[in-house]
Structure 1
Amino acid sequence: MKRGSVGMTLCYRGAMKTRRYSEVDVFSREAYRGNALAVVHDADDLSTEEMQRFANWTNLSETTFLLTPSSPQAGYRVRIFSAKEELPFAGHPTLGSAKAWLNAGGSVRPGGMVVQECAAGLIPVRVSDDQLAFEAPPLTRYGPVEESIVERISLTLGISRDQIVDASWLVNGPQWIGVRLSSAREVLDLRPDPGKAGDLEIGVVGPHEPSGETQFEVRAFVGGDPVWEDPVTGSLNAGLARWMIDTASASPPYTAAQGTVLGRQGRVHVSVHDEKIWVGGHVTNCIEGTVRL
């Protein structure tokens, strides 16, 4: 359907109304150096089709819609859409949605917490100073990756199979496969071929030299999606944290850099409190206004 005919259909139905709209930058202290998120407020009356159409139009990695929660524990409910599908959970939309909801008048619960309701369940978000952090949800698929898929990944990334130190499924909404390389330099040097990825969602991580600002470099590649390399990815970093901590490849707290090759300065802060992994970063307000939907 052409965009023009969509607009006429909405006007004919009388469905368009003015709603609060925000765009925030997630995982960066400096505006426009992290990962952008579009947030539509007061979205209870929008259909799934209308949400998906708008998310496709924004052409961002994700767009979220804030709704009235169904759980008394939650401050708000969110639906999360990429350009092509709805996601049960995603990391940077969780932090960005929480920030946008707070900016619109939402309040922090005692203990500095906000509770988000999404398709993956209730996600606690901790608000501390100028950072937000979400509690990493459990992985629904976690374990070794089939060798045939690892071979596909090496071809997609343009490296030899021997350069892949380890690989694991890290599914927590998105179907991430984590790939460990021996160094951050190898991660930065990757020049993958999107035509070979198919529907794979690949997250690559490698360690920086000790004593630097960041301990790991991360890149995220999404096959079959208009957004081939994601700038900064909370869900992936949550899965990588679980995997690297379990395999003694990382000792929290640590900071991962992401988006470097894209000219971004994403910084993802991983910590552990009461045996739970928290993934956090700064969220910067960039755009406040209204949208007609």
Structure 2
Amino acid sequence: MQCDVFSTRPTGGNGLAVVLDGTDLTDGQMQAFARWTNLAETTFVLPPTDPAADYDIRIFTASRELPFAGHPTLGTATCWLAAGNTPKEAGTLRQNCGVGLVDVDLTGDTPAFVAPPTKIIPLPDGRLDQIAHGLGLDPARILGHALLNNGPEWHAIEMASADDILALSPRDFTPISGIAVGLIAPHPAGPVAFEVRMFSMWSGLIEDPITGSLNAALAHWMQSQGRAKQPYTVAQGTQIGREGRVHVIPDKNAPDEGPMRIGGHTNILIEGHVTL
């Protein structure tokens, strides 16, 4: 199947290819197919190796395998359910991936995965200046920064206003090899609380349309500062023609330390068979 995640408008989110039976595929075949789809990620569903899981998944970009990613988690869950499968536990789907078991809550308006733990440490010395110079950020507008790791590693920077990051033009950027940068900034008012942009310098400068794992890490960063006590919505992909909406849902009974859920809508666009 091919689906579109984190938008109510088909093609407004982040595309994902889902192979619902990857049992007999080699690592090389998985990577080759992910390269061929040329989407942000492609997932392969496998029988569960943990008895608590409903399935295992492997997640590939066009160039490498990831231990965890957000929009593949929600998109794969939606496709697996649409194919007529039923989770072992009513209301919860449990995937097993490179970071271990990840629960997907099915009881809300949209599926929401429980964000895996995020390690939060300072940025390496000199890295903030390097990123600010490479992306053309005004240092006076930077409110905070940290290195976040929830499987992928994110160089996170908060700017003073959504306009600060919406004004950035990729044509002006200087690529920084080997890192991924996540920018977040508040909107002054309205239904969307924050704007997010993600630039991956793993293989050239690429802006990701909507990034669930980054938003999960940012949510834990906000939670660590006592700034995620109520649900909020994030916009992403605005400057590249997408209408991404990520719903961040703290635990209502323990917003400062409880699990953070990351939700979003998924549209299934293509169903069929793949011959590899």
TM-score range relative to shorter protein = over 0.9
2:91 to 105, 108, 112: 112
Q: What is the total number of aligned residue pairs between the two structures?
A: 270
- Counterpart of 1:133? 112
1:263 is matched with 241
2:229 and 2:250 in contact (8 A); partners too? no
Distance 2:227 2:164 in 1: 17
2:198 corresponds, among 220, 231, 255, to 220
What code does the residue aligned with 1:101 have? Answer: W
Please tell me the residue identity of whatever aligns with 1:276: P
Q: What are the within-5 Å matches in structure 2 for residues 190-269 of structure 1?
A: 190-192=168-170, 193=172, 195-210=174-189, 212-225=190-203, 228-269=206-247
- How many angstroms apart in 1 are the aligned matches of 2:159 and 2:208? 18
Q: Is the alpha carbon distance of 1:109 and 1:249 closer, same or farther for their aligned partners in structure 2, counting shifts above 3 Å?
A: same
The equivalent of 1:276 in structure 2 is: 259
Distance in 2 (alpha carbons) for counterparts of 1:195 and 1:158: 9
State percent identity of aligned pairs: 46
CA-CA distance at 1:68 after TM superposition: 0.6
Residue 66 of structure 1: how far off its partner (Å) = 0.5
Question: Which residue identity does 2:167 align to in structure 1?
Answer: D
Deviations 1:173-221 (A, max 9, x none): 11111110001111111124554221110000000013x0100000010
CA RMSD in angstroms comes to: 1.5
- SS in structure 2 opposite 1:138? coil
Residue in structure 2 matched with residue 82 of structure 1 by the alignment: 61
SS in 2 for 1:147: coil
Structure 1 residues without counterparts, runs of 5 or longer: 1-21
CA distance in 2, matches of 1:224, 1:194: 15
CA distance in 2 between counterparts of 1:93 and 1:127 reads 16
**Whole-angstrom distance in 2 between the partners of 1:209 and 1:257:** 13
User: For residues 64 and 227 of structure 1, do their structure 2 counterparts lie closer, same or farther at Cα, with a shift above 3 Å needed?
Assistant: farther
Shift of 1:156: 1.9
In the TM superposition, 1:137-156 aligns within 5 A as 137-139=116-118, 141-156=119-134
Shift of 1:109: 4.2
Is 1:61 matched up with 2:11? Answer: no
Separation of aligned partners in 2, 1:227 and 1:100: 30
Change (3 A) 1:107 1:206: same
The aligned counterpart of 2:156 is 178
Following the alignment from structure 2 to structure 1, what is the Cα–Cα distance between the partners of residues 58 and 186? 34
Say whether the 8 Å CA contact 1:113–1:125 is kept in structure 2.
yes
Alignment check: 8 A CA contact 1:259 1:266 kept: yes
Q: What stretches of structure 2 of length at least 5 have no aligned partner?
A: none
Worse-matched range after superposition: 67-76 or 186-195: 186-195
Provide the TM-score with structure 2 as the length reference: 0.93
Take 1:225 and 1:63, find their aligned partners in 2: how far apart are those partners? 17
**d(CA) in 2 for partners of 1:292 and 1:68?**
20
Q: Is the 8 A contact 1:194 1:223 kept in 2?
A: no
C-alpha spacing 1:287/1:227, structure 2 compared with 1 (3 Å):
farther
Q: CA deviation at 1:110?
A: 4.0
Match of 1:99 among 75, 78, 82: 78
Question: Of 262, 268, 271, which residue of structure 2 is paired with 1:285?
Answer: 268
1:34 match: 13
Q: CA deviation at 1:111?
A: 4.3
Larger mean CA deviation between 149-158 and 223-232 belongs to: 223-232
Per-residue CA deviations over 1:62-101 (Å, capped at 9, x if unaligned) read 0000111111111111000011110000000000011111
Corresponding residue of 2:26: 47
Q: Which has the larger radius of gyration?
A: 1
Could you tell me which residue of structure 1 aligns to residue 145 of structure 2? Answer: 167
